[in-house]
Structure 1
Amino acid sequence: MEAPVPAAQVVQETPAPLAGIDAMLRQLEDDTLLTMRIIGYSAEQVQSKVDESVTLVDHIRDASSELSSLSATAHDLTMGLVRTTEKLDQASQSIERDISGTDDFIREAHALASDVTSRMERLGSAVERIASVVAVIGTVARQTNLLALNASIEAARAGPAGRGFAVVATEVKLLANEVQDATGDISSQIEMLQNFASESHEAVDRIATLIRRIDPVLGSVRDAVSAQIAGTRDVADRATQSLSFVGSVSSSAKAMQEMTESARAASRSAGSATGNMERSLHWLTQRSMAALRDTVVGNRRRYERVPILLEAVLSLDEISAPVQVIDLSKGGCLLAADITLFAVGMSGRLEAEKIGAINVTIVALSDDGVHVRFESPRPETIKRIEAAIEDVHHVNQPIITIIQGVAKEISDTFEDGVNSGEVALTDLITFDYQRIAGTDPIQYETKATPFYEEVLPPIYERWKDRCPSSLFMLACDRNSYIPIHHPQYSLPQRPGDHQWNDLNSRNKRIMERSKMLVAVRNRNPYAATLFQRHMSDGRIVPTTLMAAPIFVRGQLWGNVYLAKEL
């Protein structure tokens, strides 16, 4: 167990005259962070409401889409109804015409039946008169037959003298018999004709009766068809009105759908604006912190920090977990670890290679990892920490030489451009960044962009082979603006593809990472900073970001920074 060492031996006290300023800056930083947190909460609430609005608008959009679909279906059905009623109206009119023709036929049949009845009546009268004549003829024939019989008797009495008369009487008798037979036959035929006429008269009467019975039925049918025609026309009128109404509903549904789409887009825009506001506030906070830490009194980091990679074990309470030291100073370190295992305020012991054992307290948890403070380290432990830091400087010296050479060449090139009038100093050191329309993430240009595009790529090309292990090497101005990136990261943006653009269109961007902002405002001969690089596959790779300043006529333009894996 290490013996504790007085803090005064390892921690430099803040000079008394600056203690008040230090406290003020500490309070300012705390207030800025608190304000950011409160505004962030408000932004989250606004975003939540915007999300609810978007959800509601989505529901309305779905409902309006369904209404539009139903309206279209109703329109089709109503159109079918209109066509059906038109066909029904045509059929009803055809029936009405047929019934009108039937009325004419019935009237003709009724007139014909009346005429037949009249003719049958006249025929009956004629037959009766014929029967009377035939009866007279029959009577005459019978009387003639009696006369012939009497003549025959008288001729017989007369003897031979009456023989000729007897022959005549016989012939007359035969003729009278034939007449009588004929009149009998005629009488039979007349009787049959009378019976037929009587039956025909009765049949015609029955037909006339049926025709008279059909007429009211046809009248009812006529009235029903007329009512049906009127009803069909009323249905057709209502169907036409329904069609017009459905058309209006469909138009309204389409208009509502368009409005919901506009509202949805507006809600999305509001959500994006809220997110942008939150990001802008976060960016402002980062820049405020970077600005404060860029001053002597504002930088509360009492010790130099260097990126490093050391295997270690962190033991807190009942937890013991393998970790990696990825950022080291004499006052504490940053550990790459599963932050869900730990909590702020937990204390324990860290055992790391090159350093040994040391008591620590967790002071913060972040996306970068677990931030710990060393608790009263022993002098020999401090010496081991200093030796580890010095080793980092020694290992980095070749890279330091390279980036300082690049920074000097860029400084000289910029100076030459200003001296020759090719570019103005106020265009190099500027806040006038013009947004490039339609870019997402946003890209910017300045008046000096054409100058950068001309002079920086050849410098990158000359130096890239000097440090093949580097991930990238770029010049970035003091506002974290990258005018020129490497070709593979300077591809034209794809409209609507934010993720692809973020990974492949990194030129002309203002990077919003606070550590990068601190790095590009470095004024020391060189600086090394830990940078967590987010990869396209979701991995976070601890990276060393090394920077060397670029000055133009004594003013800080920015830094050249080079990234390499730990």
Structure 2
Amino acid sequence: MFRWLTPSRAATPQVEQQREDNAALNVVKRLARAISTVGKDAAEVRGALEDTQRIVQAQGQAMQALARQLDQIGQAQAAIAAATAQSAAAVQRARGALGGVGGEVGGMAATLAQVSDAAAEITRISLQTRLVAFNAAVEAKHAGEAGRGFAVVAEAVKALAGQVEASSKAIVGAIASLQQRIDRFSAELAEDAARPSQIHAAFREVEQDVQRIAASAAESGQQMGLLNERAQELEREVSQASQGLKVAFDGSDRFLRMAEELVEQIAGSGVEVDDMPFIRAAQQAAADIGALLEDALRGGRIGEADLFDAHYRPIDGTQPPQHTTRFCALTDQLFPAVQEQVLGFSDKVVFCIAADRNGYIATHNRKYCQPQRPGDLAWNTAHSRYRRIFDDRTGLASARNERPFLLQTYRRDMGGGRFVLLKEAAAPITVNGRHWGGLRLAFSF
């Protein structure tokens, strides 16, 4: 006996449309996740470029210090050359006129003292130059492959500075020996114990010493020429690195913002992207903060001018700098009720804070409102984040955003060279129709 099978009923147009819509929605959601991952990578690249920019800036400062020191060395070497020439001329005059030898010898002694002072100054500056070059080389090594060329040149500068220092020390040693010879010569002249032949022999020895000093000074000058060439190479390296970094940084910034805007547009279209719960939480918290501030105005707890106070008064002895405003006492009373509650919304939430339109955080989450520890910048940066102005790219964008929401991806500085990668949903805070600032809700990936 055959059993007839009933064919399945064809899907209705409405069901088929629903399937297509669901498939398209899933594609959009996957696209949003992929874009979010791209944004994360772009934020990490941007952060790495920021680190490299700081290194290049330090190298630029080292170059400025190096240029000043090389100028000082050049002046000291010019003084050595002039003083040595004067000493040589004094020897020649004394040999030609033995009657005035006492005065010439005294003049030589004074001139050689100037040479000694100049050589000692070169030694001191050369040591500083070596230290600057050493620090620049260390910073370049931190930059990895991008700083390799700079590191090689910086090492060469350090080596040349060491040679200049050695030449200067040789000059100082030769002058010390020569001064002793001149002192003995002067004593003999004063006693009239030296015969003319002895005087001529003494002058020959003095002249030879002066020539050795002149040769050392000439060698030092040649080394300075090489040192200047290397310094110019360093300057070119820094300039090229700065230009390349600016191009790369601007490109990464545009790429990051494009990724953020794409996710915003997808979320704004009504698609339930992964970030949507955090966006809604930020919007609700912003509305709650705005309502609390409006109630405070109506109840006379604060005036509008005080609520919108933008005169940030520095708190002495704070690092990073902290400031106060006329609305701090009020926000300390009102904001924790909202901000602390949102912290429990998800274990991914890192902080929830209200910033005024200039990025000023009067009242942070309680765990980040620790009193500063004097001299402990790293700890203060991580744990004492209230009463501070965050006017960086992310902080200002969130504070001044007036669209329904804003999504951003960035690295948060935790102090001591430690960073964490975060996403942030921001929503505007309005008080009686006037934009006061933004609610910043940061969460981890």
- TM-score, normalised with respect to structure 2: 0.42
Who wins on radius of gyration, i.e. which is larger?
A: 1
- TM-score, normalised with respect to structure 1: 0.33
Structure having the larger proportion of residues in helix: 2
Structure having the larger proportion of residues in strand: 1
Task: Tell me: higher relative CO, structure 1 or 2? Use CA pairs within 8 A at least 6 residues apart.
Answer: 2
